[in-house]
Amino acid sequence: MELCAFEKSFDTKKVLRLLGAKKEKRISPSAMRRIDNLADDVDTLLNPRLDFRKLALVYSDKNKIVLADGTRFTSVKLANAIGNSEEVYCFVATIGSKIDRKIQRLMKERRYADAYVLDAIGSISAENIVEQYYQHIAKEAEKERRGVTLRFSPGYCDWPLDQQRNLFAVFYDNSPVNVTLSESCLMSPRKSVSGIFGILPAGISGIDPAYNPCAMCRKSDCIARRSH
């Protein structure tokens, strides 16, 4: 099922973090001006769309999960996080290719700093589309006293990037919301996000804190680090 009604926005703090800003290091005024100037174009550059399928989880063990259509995903951390779910949501989201073309034009004009900042804005904007969808499903699940797991994307933690093919195969036409895969499993448009998360049995409300691989990871400066 395809969705397209999303708020076009991004979190400036997350953009700054992606650009390398730290709590103890203030961002320069010129960088802030670039973000503010480029933010004016966001509404016209973004075309948010998301496609998803919900499938029952029929089998899991210590290093894999299997969905009702036979799709298999192999990852120890993914199995630990999602293995107790009753259902799994598979999704592919994108903000479209306009922002890619804008970044390319800035590069040709040698406006490298602007291109770099817009690239960060695009990444955070794409993540925001997925977060809106994820929070919506979490609220719907909570009405049934059910919870959701953390979401995972191919290439995250120990989940191999080449399993992107397995994820895309869940969708009938293999190109959900016109997002395609290269031979190296990179998505086009570039500002696209794919992944899965699970729906837990009744009695577990909210986002399940039972397993979070970030809690055991020593890479404390990872921009994808998650905590409850």
> What string of H, E and C letters represents the secondary structure of 50-104?
EEEEEEEEEEECCCEEEECCCCEEECHHHHHHHCCCCEEEEEEEECCCHHHHHHH
Residue type at 141? A
Task: State the pLDDT at residue 228.
Answer: 46
Task: State the pLDDT at residue 86.
Answer: 94
Residue type at 169? A
Per the listing, tokens 């817009």 go with 118
Check whether domain 2-216 has CATH 3.30.70.20, yes or no = no
* Phi then psi dihedrals of residue 67, to 5 deg: -95, 170
- Nearest CA among 172, 152, 173, 148 for reference residue 163: 152
Task: State the pLDDT at residue 9.
Answer: 78
Task: State the pLDDT at residue 216.
Answer: 55
**pLDDT per residue over 197-221, tens digit each?**
999 988 765 555 555 555 555 555 5
Give strand ranges (E) for the chain. 2-3, 49-60, 64-67, 72-74, 87-94, 147-148, 180-181, 187-188, 192-199, 206-207
Task: State the pLDDT at residue 13.
Answer: 83
Task: State the pLDDT at residue 159.
Answer: 92
Task: State the pLDDT at residue 14.
Answer: 84
203 strand-pairing partners: none
Q: What is the pTM of this model?
A: 0.85
Counting as low any pLDDT under 70, the low residues of the chain are: 1-4, 22-27, 204-228
Neighbour-count burial of 116, counting CB atoms closer than 10 A to its CB (0-12 exposed, 13-18 middle, 19+ buried): middle
Task: State the pLDDT at residue 38.
Answer: 86
Cβ–Cβ < 8 Å for 157, 125: no
Structure tokens at 72: 């298999």
